[in-house]
Structure 1
Amino acid sequence: MAQAGDYRILHEADLRDYLAGVPDLNALLGGDPAVWPITEVGDGNLNLVFIVKGAKGGVAVKQALPYVRLVGESWPLPLSRAHYEFLALSRQAELAPGLVPALLHHNEALALTVMELLEPHIIMRKGMVAATQYPGFVDDITTFMARTPFFTSDLARSAAEKKQGIAAFAGNHALCKITEDLIFTDPYRVAEQNRWTAPYLDALAAELRDNMELHVAVSRLKLKFMASPEALLHGDLHTGSIMVTERQMRVIDPEFAFYGPMGFDIGAVLANLLMAYFASAGHERAPGDRQAFEGWVLETVEKVWAEFARKFLDLWRAGATGDAYPASLFAGETGAARLEAERQAYMQRLFADAVGFAAAKTIRRIFGLAHNIDFELIEDSKKRAICEARAVRLARAMMLETAAFRTVADVTGTARKLRDWMPELSD
């Protein structure tokens, strides 16, 4: 059994020695370990990430730090998150094969995981800032989004199996607490780590703190997040946790994995696509030069929901082996018709959840601790604030008037109307 004292942060020399001492990894990399190039590439908020290349091949190495990297040692964080990430990747590889990186090695004591090196993949968010379109994204992400939650839900699992799954991830509460605070609480109160594009969004930030209807709406979402263990979630599924080529996609970084409401992951994907859409105007070199990209983004939003719903329903119709909706209660033509109507109602409720969670994810990325480069790389701060205010206006409507967004076309239609809306900004 690994002991807590076995942990140490592996810097380049330590990492080289460690990898050389694992026979399978040494053979995979090949050549003289002394000359393996090792590059630290972690640009996230929590961990160290290294790329190591040898004469024969390369690997990606991720090591959890005992604190939040973005903030420093003043914010400690349990190393156990590496265990839950490894567990989630293992489960996702079974349920959605080929859509997560292959696992090569894991050391729980060191909170270290070695994975396949994804090349020539890049972080999707970076590609979207450059207005790159990804034709294969919809099919891949919707397969991942449909299969992972369906096969870990009560629709496909017995009650006992489902509860065992919940128990396996229940210890990841420290990462859940980050989400509960940073997404559902801090943007709506005075919090030390909040920031926004000041002074232009000062009035909007104050409005978030004062609007009791928003506080009620986001608190309902927070309760659903905490109290609805519907299925295994990635927990941080956004365009910064997806690596792509034009034809291939891999989902990475599921260290926030837990059992929660399915709409949370779906909403996260939709929110990040919508933020990319609104940020696009700030990256224009000439008016209209990103029009084709923006059209593709909104088309992608629509297709992501439509394809997810189709695939999820197909799985439900073909493989509902769980304890929910027992077949014995829906026998005959009348029962089959009633069950199908219930499936459609279920999907409508799921869409409403996704709309609300997308709103919360958007607001958090503009007023909370960790922001998106979609907006952050817009150098002109006033132009950035205009783009952000448009996204917030949509998010505010989605959170307060969720019932008005009955279809994904309602979401994209409202986004189009706000594309050139000029907000009143603080001076």
Structure 2
Amino acid sequence: MSSQDRPPASSRQDEYRILPEGDLREYLARLPAIAEHLGGAPEVWSISEVGDGNLNLVFIVKGAEGGVAVKQALPYVRLVGESWPLPLSRSHYEYLALTHQARLAPGLVPSVLHHNEALALVVMELIEPHIIMRKGLIAGALYPSFVGDIATFLARTLFFSSDLAIPAAQKKEGIAAFAGNHALCKITEDLVFTDPYRVAEQNRWTQPWLDATAAAFREDLDLHAAISRLKLKFLNAPEALIHGDLHTGSIMVTEGSTVVIDPEFAFYGPMGFDLGAVIGNLLMSYLASAGHEGSPGERRLFEVWVLETIENVWTEFAHEFLELWRTEAHGDAYPPTLFPGEAGVKRLEAERRAYMARLFQDTVGFSAAKIIRRILGLAHNIDFELIEDPKRRAISEARSLRLARAMMVDAASFRGIGAVTKAAQEVRDWQPDFG
């Protein structure tokens, strides 16, 4: 269709189309609040497509006065192409999640400036001068405020969407609001919990060094049972509204600020999945670090910081979550009338501790699942991929897989976060035998 055959843009507001740069400029110019925020003439706005993820288009738009980020969902998986269609409704769920998270954890997610459900498009504040955390970690950067920020984000978004904090009717309404996001859940169900443990067309790994490990994982029935238990929990435990994809590529940072982005996988699921995603990605950063060394030992300070960060993320999250439970428990779970008097207070506190112990075990298992999928499945992490020497990369990946298997199959033996970091340290200098 030529430009003269197209209907006027104003009549096409509710018709999905992929917006190229020219159409996006025109669209934003017709939004008074956005145009004022950007400032200057629309024809001189700079627009650059910066999406390096697997699913969407992401544009940075800058004018004389300010900038915005624009995210538009594609009707297919960008990483694969049109052969893998995907519903545009994921943009709607991302919008719902962002607005929900902004209420619970203000300042830790980008503000939504505009949403067009028909175009599957969200305009957000431009987060600057932040960078994607994964890129900073690869460079060996340290982020002092990260622990406190991510612990607060996790504690508040998980607690305040759980039965501990809100009435059952409100919780069920929340579950219903996100129940339609099953296509994104299906991606996780396949790519995280199933495909790495079987022959799947889109699996890949660093060959030939990891061929034997990949084959062993496909035959490991103890591992298959463990991942199946985790998958069952993912399928049937709507504990809270989770981000659903909370890796270090979905977190933007400076030394003094943290912002969580991209919650399009959000749904009501197990809390440990979000916690495990954060901790699993930090473990991968730690074990990939040796592959980025120019000389032996030059990144030891960074690696010590990552291990401390892993420990502190869990410790501070647990502390904040428990404090919220003690002070903000207005849900239908654990009604206080069942725990009267001093004895009741003590018994309820013991129950809280037991709850956190179970949540920690879930976190350990889900951490392992996230590690394995990023090495043997479809979508890999640049933590490993940017290690240029493939054998050196395979060594880091083999160490990560060795740790992940232990964490998944024998999660109960990891009784505290210190046991996880100790195991990571022990595997850090293990030398795999590639035959």
TM superposition score normalised by structure 1: 0.99
For 1:49, the equivalent position in structure 2 comes to 58
Does 2:232 align with 1:230?
Answer: no
For 1:154, the equivalent position in structure 2 comes to 163
Deviation string for 1:333-386 (max 9, x for gaps)? 010000000000000000000000000000000001100000000000000000
SS of aligned partner of 1:18: helix
For 2:176, the equivalent position in structure 1 comes to 167
Deviation string for 1:76-116 (max 9, x for gaps)? 00000000000000000000011000110000000000000
SS of aligned partner of 2:366: helix
**Aligned partner of 1:247 among 256, 266, 272:** 256
Distance 1:97 1:275 in 2: 29
Distance 2:413 2:371 in 1: 18
Does 2:212 align with 1:192?
Answer: no
SS of aligned partner of 1:273: helix
**Aligned partner of 1:283 among 270, 292, 300:** 292
Q: Give the residue type in structure 2 aligned to 1:414.
A: A
Deviation string for 1:303-342 (max 9, x for gaps)? 0000000000000000111000000000000100000000
**Aligned partner of 1:180 among 160, 182, 189:** 189
Counterparts of 1:60-99 in structure 2, within 5 Å, are 60-99=69-108
Q: Give the residue type in structure 2 aligned to 1:208.
A: F
Does 2:37 align with 1:25?
Answer: no
SS of aligned partner of 1:63: strand
For 1:402, the equivalent position in structure 2 comes to 411
Q: Give the residue type in structure 2 aligned to 1:122.
A: I
Q: CA 1:164–1:323 in 2, change beyond 3 Å: closer, same or farther?
A: same
SS of aligned partner of 2:82: strand
Distance 1:138 1:352 in 2: 20
Give yes or no for contact 1:65–1:79 (8 Å, CA) kept in 2: yes
Give yes or no for contact 1:302–1:409 (8 Å, CA) kept in 2: yes
Moved over 4 A (4+): 2-5
Q: CA 1:194–1:132 in 2, change beyond 3 Å: closer, same or farther?
A: same
Aligned length: 425
For 2:334, the equivalent position in structure 1 comes to 325
Q: CA deviation at 1:35?
A: 1.1
Give yes or no for contact 1:282–1:384 (8 Å, CA) kept in 2: yes
Deviation string for 1:259-285 (max 9, x for gaps)? 000000000000000000000000000
Q: Structure 1: which 5+ runs fail to align?
A: none
Give yes or no for contact 1:3–1:109 (8 Å, CA) kept in 2: no
**Aligned partner of 2:120 among 111, 123, 142:** 111
Give yes or no for contact 1:39–1:50 (8 Å, CA) kept in 2: yes
Q: Give the residue type in structure 1 aligned to 2:112.
A: L
For 2:344, the equivalent position in structure 1 comes to 335
Q: Give the residue type in structure 1 aligned to 2:369.
A: A
Percent of aligned pairs sharing the same letter = 72
Distance 1:131 1:23 in 2: 42
TM superposition score normalised by structure 2: 0.97
Give yes or no for contact 1:243–1:251 (8 Å, CA) kept in 2: yes
For 2:315, the equivalent position in structure 1 comes to 306
